[in-house]
Amino acid sequence: MRIAVIDNDSKQRARINEILRGAHHISTSFSSIEKLLADPASDVELLVYHWQPIAHGAGPHPLKALRQARPLLPVLVVTDQASDQALADCLNDPHTDYLVRPVRSTDLLLRIKLWHMRIWPHAEQPAPLQFGPYAFDVQSATAWLGDKPIPVTRKEFSLALLLFRHLGQPLSRATIHEAVWPKEAEFNSRSLDTHIARVRLKFALQPAHGYQLSPVYGYGYQLQATDFPG
């Protein structure tokens, strides 16, 4: 999807953009709704908007101008408060949903997936994601190396797909934990190392297949592409 992000918190804005682009969405940041509406090229399909009741005060609702120009544009409001009355009024709009900070990557992507299903309820199922000789079917959590299926658990599938989607980027242990084990509050470092070892073995992540999975000392792990055998 083509997604606009408006958030004056630079760290959160960068993180949301990273999550969206890692899931193969096209994301563009704007400093305000006015900037979004003034951009003739901003043909976005969804807006992720950080709502700050204190900053906006008692003036006109910040989404009013947007609704006049784009009444059907889905808006996912990110807020620091779950019970603010102004936010409650905003959510009377059937095209608006919300998330409370801190935003989990799994929650954000799930809400976006639900919006996608509402907008295109009869859309065809997406083709498997391809990374060199590897293929991932997200719907069935099935992976292949060439034409051979890889016997993986759902956690191993999620971990492998996360690594491939962030190819060449070091991922911290905390980021991996949040993406693959979002409901587990306690972080088990040894369990992560075990799953990494299984993914490396089952996916045969070695230069012969064009990829190498390596630890990043004191940080996490990184999957890198190598030269394919010629």
Residue-level pLDDT at 83: 52
**CB within 8 Å of 189: residues ≥ 6 apart:** 173
Residue-level pLDDT at 86: 54
Contact criterion met (CB below 8 Å) for 57 and 79: no
Task: Give yes or no for residue 204 having a pLDDT over 90.
Answer: yes
Residue-level pLDDT at 88: 63
Mean pLDDT of 210-218: 92
Share of the chain above pLDDT 70, in %: 82
Contact criterion met (CB below 8 Å) for 75 and 49: yes
pTM passes above 0.95: no
Largest Cα–Cα distance in the chain? 66
Residue-level pLDDT at 213: 94
**CB within 8 Å of 27: residues ≥ 6 apart:** 3, 4, 5, 16, 17, 20, 21
Q: Which residue would you say has higher pLDDT here, 98 or 40?
A: 98
Q: Which residue would you say has higher pLDDT here, 51 or 84?
A: 51
Task: Give yes or no for residue 114 having a pLDDT over 70.
Answer: yes
Domains of the chain: 2-119 (3.40.50.2300), 129-225 (1.10.10.10)
